[in-house]
């Protein structure tokens, strides 16, 4: 999803008739949402049969093109679940194809519960980022719907928080010229939680700053 200075533009894998790289470069902000599994070939691996992957190549190409454009335009990126995983791979990192079959002692990260139910807590690894300050206001619980996760970190990525079993839950890009932050859970389902709303507010502020660089039309009042 690219957020433009005067509108929200929703792009899906079924709607490929766009110059996605240009859209990513020109948008005020880009939201990379959750979805099916990223094809392991993007990080140099063959799909493992035991991982039981659900792959949508059109979505992989769409997200990659948006990220290429976002990097060119220094467009803020808010990466959620699969989006965070995709960004890590975009930066040269890798993923666990399937946590239950590849990592011993893993928590249940895909519980059969309502989308706003909390699955586990997270622990802060660094307090140098605003995200950590927001999330460090007490014990933080998050929801969870994934079976893949970040394995090897990509370039210039800082680990901000993890789950009790060591799965990366929050990352930020350590570059002053490009705002990128990501979470492994689904904050869109937790808008009733003030800290979760604040994460969205941070992205909107970054997008508003980006839009003001190119236009006098504000994204936020």
Is 120 an active-site residue? no
Q: Which of 71, 81, 129, 162 is catalytic?
A: 81
* Among the listed residues 203, 216, 190, the one whose alpha carbon sits nearest the alpha carbon of residue 1: 203
Contacts of 164 (CB under 8 A, 6+ apart): 107, 120, 121, 123
Listed in sequence order, the DSSP H helices in 12-129 are: 20-26, 57-73, 82-90, 99-102
Is 33 an active-site residue? no
Q: Which of 120, 146, 147, 186 is catalytic?
A: 186
Distance CA 10, CA 209 (A): 21
Is 49 an active-site residue? no
Contacts of 120 (CB under 8 A, 6+ apart): 107, 109, 141, 142, 144, 163, 164
Q: Which of 45, 68, 141, 188 is catalytic?
A: 188
Distance CA 77, CA 39 (A): 21
> Packing angle between helix 57-73 and helix 82-90, nearest 10 degrees?
60
The residues carrying an active-site annotation are 81, 186, 188
């Amino acid at each position: 999803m690219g957020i433009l200075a005067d509108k929200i533009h929703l792009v899906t894998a079924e709607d490929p008739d766009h110059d996605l790289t240009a859209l990513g470069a020109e948008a005020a902000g880009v939201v990379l949402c959750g979805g099916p599994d990223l094809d392991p070939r993007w990080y140099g691996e063959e799909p493992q049969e035991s991982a039981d992957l659900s792959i949508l190549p059109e979505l992989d190409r769409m997200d990659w093109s948006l990220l290429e454009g976002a990097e060119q335009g220094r467009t803020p990126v808010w990466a959620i679940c699969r989006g965070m995983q995709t960004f890590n791979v975009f930066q040269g990192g890798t993923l666990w194809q399937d946590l239950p079959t590849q990592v011993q002692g893993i928590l249940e990260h895909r519980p059969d519960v309502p989308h706003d139910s909390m699955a586990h807590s997270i622990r802060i690894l660094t307090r140098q980022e605003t995200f950590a300050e927001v999330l460090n206001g007490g014990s933080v619980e998050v929801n969870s719907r994934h079976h893949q996760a970040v394995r090897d970190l990509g370039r210039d990525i800082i680990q901000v928080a993890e789950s009790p079993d060591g799965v990366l839950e929050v990352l930020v890009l350590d570059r002053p010229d490009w705002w990128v932050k990501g979470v492994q859970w689904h904050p869109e389902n937790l808008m009733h939680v003030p800290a979760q709303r604040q994460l969205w507010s941070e992205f909107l502020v970054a997008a508003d700053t980006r839009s003001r660089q190119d236009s006098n039309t504000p994204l936020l009042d």
